[in-house]
A and B are shown apart, each in its own frame.
Chain A
Amino acid sequence: MGMVTPLGRDVEETFTRAAAGESGVRAITSFDTSGLPCRIAGQVDDAWLEDGATDRMHGLASRGLRLMLSAGRQAATAARLHEVASRQRVGVALGSHGDYPSLDQILLLHRHTDGKGRWNLPGLARTAGYDSRQLFRRKPDVTAGLLAATFGCHGPNLSLVSACAAGAQAIGEAYRLILDGGADVMVGGGCEATVNFMGLLGFTLLHALAEEAPAPETASRPFDRRRNGFVLSEGAGAVVLEAEDHALARGATVLGEVLGYGDSADAYRITDAHPLGTGAALAMQSAIREAGLSPDEVDVINAHATSTVQGDIAEARAIAEVFGDRSRTIPVTANKSMLGHTIAAAGAIECILTLVGMHNALILPTINYRTPDPRCPLDVVGGAARVKEHRVALSNSFGFGGQNACLCLGRGDD
C-alpha cells in the first residue's frame, strides 16, 4: 500500500494525522485565486513528490504522475514486487485523467482555426508554441504506462477515467483480472492533481464547491446539516493486489483482502444522483453478495460522502435500502471531511485507510460533523476516532454521471 495526500507523504503519516482528526485543507498557495468564489483545497506538499528525475520522464512528469509514482513506489516496496519472477503476470490498473489543457494552449489553438472546422497546422508549427510534451501529459494512459515501465509490469495495463469512481474501479478491475486469471499481481490505484486554474474553474462553474466556511479546515462537512459542497484535493493511492495462493507461496505480507466488488450505472440524471440511491445500493449489494456475505456481516462503511447536499442524502438513502434498520447503527466514516475530494485517487486512498483502520481496530473520525442532518440518519463517527474491532467493511465511490463502485474489504487474517 502506498499513498501521498494532503495529510502525509505516506500511509502511516496520513493515517496517524487522520486518526487525530487533522484536516489537510487550507488556502490555495500554488496559484493566485483572487476573485474566485472558492479559494481552498487539499494540497500535497511539493517536498513529498517523486523527483521524476529520470530521462524518460523528464518533461513528461506531470504532477499527477509524480504523485502516482510516489504512492506506487511505496506499495511496490512494501510488497517486494521486484521478487515476482513472471513479469508477464504483473499488471497495472489506474484511475487517472491526463492533465487538462491549460488556457494558454486553448487560446493558442484558437488563434489557428478559422472557426469553420479547418485548422492551420503549419501556422501552429511556426509559432512553436504547442509543446509536444503536452500530448503526453494529456493522455490518461501515460501514467499507467510509465508506472508499468518504472516497476517492470508487463501484464495488462488499464486506465480508468470514471472521475470520482475511478480509483475504486481500478482496484475493482484489478481484482477481477486476478480472479479471472489474467494476472497474478496487479498494482491498482488512482491519482489526481487538478488543483489548478482549469480544475478549480470547472467545479466552480458547476457550483459544486464549498465556498463559505469560517476556516478552510471546516469547509468539508459530510453529512453535516450545513454542508454546501465539496473541497477539491490532490493525491494518489496505490495497492498491490495479489492472488491469495501466489502471495502465500512467496511469503508476501498480507495487509488486507478484497472480498468483493460491485459496480453499476445510475442511468438517472447527469449530476443529480437517483433520489432513492438505487444504483449505489445495487453496487453495495453486488459487492456484499460477491463476498459471499449478507448485509448483517458488514461492520463499517467508509462512505463516499463528498459533502454535497444532494450526494450525501442519496448515499444515506442507498445505505438505508441495503441495510434496513441496521443502517442507523453501522458506524459510517467519511474520510473526505479531512482530505477533501481527491476525485480519481479517492477510491484508492479510502480503500487503504479502511484496511489500516481494520488492522488497528480504529474507525477514523468524520470531522466537522457538528449538526447531524436529519435526512442522513446514520451512525456517523463524528468527533474523535472510535476504537472498535472490525473485520468487514465497505468502501464506496460514486462518480459524477452515476457510475457507482463499492469494494467489500476484509482484514485478511482468516
Chain B
Amino acid sequence: MHELIPPEAVLGALKKALASTLGVNESAIQPSSSIVRDLGAESLDFLDINYQMEQLFGIRMARHFFLEHAEEMFGEGSAIDDDGHLTVPAMALLRERYGGAGLPPTGESLDLDEVPALITVQAVVDTILAILETLPEHCTCGSAAWRVEDGTRIVCGSCGEVALFTSGDELTKQWLASAGPGAGLGQP
C-alpha cells in the first residue's frame, strides 16, 4: 500500500490541512508537534481535521477515542477510574499507542483532560496509515488493480469504485481486543 500512498504524502496532506484550519505556518508543523499544545487546536478543530482527512483519503476516522472503546468493551472503570485518571492498563496502552514523549514516568497516571495534548501530528499520520493498510486485496469487482486519484484517493483501476477500508473505530476495537488483555484489561 505504501507504494500507492507513501507516508510522506499523508504527512504533507495533514500538515496542509492543519495549517489552513488552525491558521499556522506549515513550516512550524513538525511530526512531533502536539496538535493541542503546540498548534492551538480546540475540540471543533479535531472534528474539522478528521473530516478533511476522511474526504481526502476516502476513509472513516474513529469517532471515539480508544479509552471510550475500552470502557465499552471491558466495563466501566476499566480504563478510567473514579477520579478521572487513567488506570494502569490504560496507561500501558497509551504508552504503546503514543510512545513515551510527553508521558509521565512509569507508575504515574494521567488525568483524562491531559490526554488530548498527547496527540501529535505523527500520531494522526500513523492512524491514517493504519486505516489505509486495511486496503483489501481485491475490489468487489474482483480486480486487484488499485490506482490513486488526485494523489490521495485509492480507486479500482477496473471499475472505478472507491476502495473500502476498515473504519477507524473498528480498527481500534480490533487492537484493543488483542492488546487489551495483555495490558491488564478484562482481568477481574
* Interface set of A (CB-CB < 8 Å, partner B): 37, 206-207, 212, 225-226, 228, 269-272, 310, 371, 373-375
Chain A residue at minimal CB-CB distance from B83:
A374
B82 within 8 A of A: yes
A401 CB to closest chain B CB (Å) equals 12
Known pairs A272-B43, A374-B84; list 4 more (Cβ under 8 Å): A37-B63, A271-B43, A272-B44, A373-B84
Docked complex Cα distance between A233 and B72 (Å): 25
The reply to whether A272 and B42 contact each other, CB–CB distance below 8 Å, is: yes
A210 CB to closest chain B CB (Å) equals 12
Docked complex Cα distance between A272 and B42 (Å): 8
Chain B residue at minimal CB-CB distance from A270:
B44
The reply to whether B63 and A371 contact each other, CB–CB distance below 8 Å, is: no
Chain B residue at minimal CB-CB distance from A228:
B68
The reply to whether A310 and B83 contact each other, CB–CB distance below 8 Å, is: no
Given contacts A37-B63, A212-B72, contact A375 B43 (CB under 8 A): no
Complex contacts, B84 vs chain A, CB 8 Å: 225, 373-375
B47 within 8 A of A: yes
Docked complex Cα distance between A373 and B83 (Å): 7
Complex contacts, A270 vs chain B, CB 8 Å: 44
Docked complex Cα distance between A17 and B180 (Å): 42
Using a Cβ cutoff of 8 Å, how many contacts connect chains A and B?
28
Complex contacts, B68 vs chain A, CB 8 Å: 212, 228
Complex contacts, A272 vs chain B, CB 8 Å: 42-44
B170 within 8 A of A: no
The reply to whether B82 and A225 contact each other, CB–CB distance below 8 Å, is: yes
A68 CB to closest chain B CB (Å) equals 32
B76 within 8 A of A: yes
A257 CB to closest chain B CB (Å) equals 39
8 A–B contacts from the bound complex (CB under 8 Å): A207-B63, A226-B71, A270-B44, A272-B43, A272-B44, A310-B43, A373-B84, A374-B83
Given contacts A206-B47, A207-B47, contact A226 B76 (CB under 8 A): yes
Chain B residue at minimal CB-CB distance from A313:
B113
The reply to whether A271 and B76 contact each other, CB–CB distance below 8 Å, is: no
The reply to whether A271 and B82 contact each other, CB–CB distance below 8 Å, is: no
Convert B53-79 into 0s and 1s, putting 1 for each residue whose CB lies closer than 8 angstroms to a CB of A.
Answer: 000000000010000100110001000
Looking at B71, B72, B80, B83, the one whose CB has the most chain A CB atoms below 10 A away is B83
The reply to whether A271 and B44 contact each other, CB–CB distance below 8 Å, is: yes
The reply to whether A371 and B42 contact each other, CB–CB distance below 8 Å, is: no
A400 CB to closest chain B CB (Å) equals 12
Convert B28-51 into 0s and 1s, putting 1 for each residue whose CB lies closer than 8 angstroms to a CB of A.
Answer: 000000000000001110010000
B64 CB to closest chain A CB (Å) equals 8
